[in-house]
Amino acid sequence: MSKKEKVLLGMSGGVDSSVSALLLKKQGYDVIGITMKLWDEEREDSCCNEESAYDAKRVCDILNIPHYSINFKDEFKKYVIDDFISCYIDGKTPNPCIECNKYLKFGKMYNMANELGCKYIATGHYARIDYSKKYDRYVLMKSSSIKKDQSYVLYNIDKNILPYILFPLSNYEDKSIIRKIAKENGLKVASKSDSQDICFIPDNDYIKFLSTYANIKSKKGNIKLKTGENIGKHDGYIRYTIGQRRGLGISYKEPLYVTNIDKDNNEVIVGTKDELYLDTLYANNINLQAIDSIQGDLRVKAKIRYSAKEASATISMVDSDKIKVVFDEKQRAITPGQSIVFYDEDIVIGGGKII
């Protein structure tokens, strides 16, 4: 770089974003650290509690870079919390990290970067951005660390800002290397554990959260087979998700799993293991990155959840915001509310919300 380009770095107080700050500074960037205050509740393993903000500031002090804590609680409630609640009311299973990435970490933070005169924004995510000759644009790609690849939860960010995003950890293949770098450079977060699950759910008890925060009360209803036969009672459909086996409280001649949630009739539909497998799904809220539109049938690899393996599929547009996905082989527990993400080798084509 001929001059020090300014970059706004999102810092959670964890080892990934802390080492990102170190690497960016060593690469010659003029780094500004920002920690978003998103939620009032405190959790030891949360990425947005007071201790995490303090850890981020302490790292910035060591590296001699400025650090700011910014209140984004209202935006977090609007785009993440409210969506989380409405999904469960609709009988879906949400992924709030995807909403947070879209609207907060790569939305509000990008706007703030512009206000501060920063050319780039950066985070400690494990993903890559590079220019693709094939697609003639900057594209989001899988991380070199396949075990830690987070491209799935980033598919929904605006493709227009990809040229202005930096992922300093993109080429590191093992998390242990990141911790080693932190330790060698005197960063006390080197051994800090990773944040787990959903940052705003105390004790990971989302039922308690929905009950106390959103005043959603569980209402008993029927558990049925797809034939309509009533075989038991449930304690509220918000307690169930597709593929669930435990906690059904019913006896049957063979193991049963949740295959559908009918929120209109307050019913949980169950079936055998075979009934969990489907080869077709539909998705909306589409966000395309590597391409501007889908013409005809397009062959891709697709993931139906963060932890799922990629599977070969054909996708096609049904209307302007609805995609049909047909898999070569049936997939287990396709879950409304979760995201499906499409890949061409390492490149993220785009994705959408399963309906």
- Answer yes or no: 100 catalytic: yes
Give the H/E segment covering residue 206. Answer: helix 206-212
- As a whole number of angstroms, the distance between CA 315 and CA 317 comes to 7
Numbers of helices and strands, H then E, in the chain = 8, 17
Contact 83, 333 (CB under 8 A): no
Contact 343, 304 (CB under 8 A): no
* Closest-CA residue to 18 (of 192, 165, 157): 192
Which SS3 state, helix, strand or coil, does residue 65 take?
coil
Distant-in-sequence, close-in-space partners of 190: CB < 8 Å, separation ≥ 6 = 15, 179, 180, 182, 183
- Answer yes or no: 47 catalytic: no
Residue from 60, 87, 97, 100 carrying the catalytic annotation: 100
Name the burial class of residue 340, with classes exposed (0-12), middle (13-18) and buried (19+) by CB atoms within 10 angstroms of its CB: buried
| Percent helix / strand / coil, the chain, rounded to 5 | 30, 30, 40
Residue from 60, 87, 118, 199 carrying the catalytic annotation: 199
Q: Which two tokens mark 110?
A: 């990008």
DSSP character string of 122-178:
E---SEEEEEETTTTEEEEEE-S-GGG--GGGGTTS-GGGGGGEE-TTTT---HHHH
Q: Which two tokens mark 187?
A: 């960063």
CA 132 to chain centre: 24
As annotated, the active-site residues are: 100, 199
